[in-house]
Amino acid sequence: MTDAAWIDAALTSARPQAVGALLRYFRNLDTAEEAFQNACLRALKSWPQNGPPRDPAAWLIMVGRNAAIDEVRRNRKQEPLPEDELISDLGDAEDALAERLDGSHYRDDILRLLFICCHPGLPATQQIALALRIVSGLTVKQIARAFLVSEAAMEQRITRAKARVADASVPFETPGAVERTERLAAVAAMIYLIFNEGYSASGDTADIRAPLCEEAIRLARLLLRLFQGEPEIMGLTALLLLQHARAAARFDAGGAVILLDDQDRSRWNQKMIAEGLALIDKAMRHRRSGPYQVQAAIAALHARAERPEDTDWTQIELLYGALEIMQPSPVVTLNRAVAVSKVRGAGAALDMIEPLAPRLSNYFHFFGVRGAFLMQLGRNDEAREAFDRAIALANTSAEAAHIRMHLDRLMRDSRPCGSGISKK
């Protein structure tokens, strides 16, 4: 790998820890970010000549802090900056700092940095944009592209979010156990949001938005390394890996949705699946179940099935049942109904979802699923009606196109046919 690529990778991976620590020193997000930027500029000059430091994050924190302090002094006394040579040899100082940076501190630094982005006053899209900018270090341009908005609009969104966050006071003391658990849950939810932002993309934008999924996985892994014994963080990481493993098989060349049953499973990423399965396996040993673990376990059952007909739908139904108890929601019930249709038939599944109608009357998937059940039962007129509703409620052109395919099938033959709608 070239110097530039190596340095780039090292700066990216050191960023959360370095910005988190600088934020603890300066207690101001803009100062911390600026200090980190300065440190990166110096790294680009110094590392190719002096070789990479043993602990890039410690180096960046040290240099960033000094640079920012220099800046304050310079502004105060108008003194010249010290020569770069004076700070280029950091050997001893770096060792001393690295020692002080042992586990406990930087763990809470990174968690705080992530937690700041989860400010409850921020709408989800701003939380995500802020986390991608501050924690992941994506450029405004990259984020704007992933969100399919103009750079100016994204710049404004991030600036507004930062101002909002600056007003809120996030305590800088080391958090207590309860507070840490709360922060962890908020951060996990935000990482899931980032992932979904990428995962819910339609076929024509999936490539552009895939980096959001990859970034979410990187953040989840980061969190898991900091909190190694948390089964829900194992579950979250497993869930993201298992879902993203299907990315290459989820859309056809024209960008239309390919349902799980119809996907070419040889295009699933086996490396991600292996890691996801290992993590959910590890999480289950704790016997402390949670929504991420259950969802990951469902994804794992799909991943384990070599062919669609090998899928253990009975187990999936049980898991959705468990999820319904943990997080009661009509959408979860709808998903359980899909499993029920596979185990006990479309009639039983239809009975199950009818009571959901009032609460899901504006939900695309409700009518898509309902239509599919009706179609399986040969009630084609009612199916057509449900599919029409689904098209009217479709969020993306790919969703609409998919339903239209069902309608075309209904037009072609009025016999019952065995196509099912299941989770993408």
Cβ proximity of 202 and 398 under 8 Å:
yes
Q: Which is nearer to another protein, 136 or 333 (CB)?
A: 136
Residues from 13 through 72 that contact another protein (CB under 8 A) = 13-14
Taking the complex as a whole, the smallest distance from the CB of residue 300 to another protein amounts, in Å, to 11
Q: Which is nearer to another protein, 209 or 218 (CB)?
A: 218
Q: Which is nearer to another protein, 42 or 218 (CB)?
A: 218
Residues from 347 through 386 that contact another protein (CB under 8 A) = none
- The helix (H) or strand (E) run that includes residue 116 is helix 103-117
Residues in Cβ contact with 107 at an 8 Å cutoff, skipping those fewer than 6 apart:
226, 227
Cβ proximity of 283 and 303 under 8 Å:
no
Q: Which of 260, 245, 250, 275 is nearest to 200 (CA)?
A: 250
Taking the complex as a whole, the smallest distance from the CB of residue 86 to another protein amounts, in Å, to 27
Sort 197 into a burial class: Cβ within 10 Å, 0-12 / 13-18 / 19+. Answer: buried
DSSP string, 196-262: HHHHT--TTTHHHHHHHHHHHHHHHHHHHHHSTT-HHHHHHHHHHHHHHTTGGGSB-TTS-B--GGG
Taking the complex as a whole, the smallest distance from the CB of residue 251 to another protein amounts, in Å, to 18
> CA dist 324 to 107, 249, 262, 293, Å?
33, 28, 27, 13
Taking the complex as a whole, the smallest distance from the CB of residue 216 to another protein amounts, in Å, to 14
Q: Which stretch binds another protein (CB under 8 A): 93-101, 182-190, 272-280, 336-344?
A: 272-280
Site string for another protein, 285-324 (x = CB under 8 A): x---------------------------------------
Main-chain phi, psi angles of 287, to 5 degrees: 50, 35
From 49, 104, 169, 228, residue interacting with another protein (rule: CB under 8 A): 228
Site string for another protein, 3-22 (x = CB under 8 A): --xx--xx-xxx--------
Residues from 233 through 262 that contact another protein (CB under 8 A) = 234, 237
Q: Which is nearer to another protein, 13 or 196 (CB)?
A: 13
392 is a site residue for another protein (CB under 8 A): no
Q: Which stretch binds another protein (CB under 8 A): 79-87, 160-168, 183-191, 226-234?
A: 226-234
Q: Which of the 8 DSSP states describes residue 171?
A: -
Main-chain phi, psi angles of 251, to 5 degrees: -135, 150
Site residues for another protein per CB under 8 A: 1, 5-6, 9-10, 12-14, 218, 221, 224-225, 228-229, 234, 237, 271, 274-275, 278-279, 281-282, 285
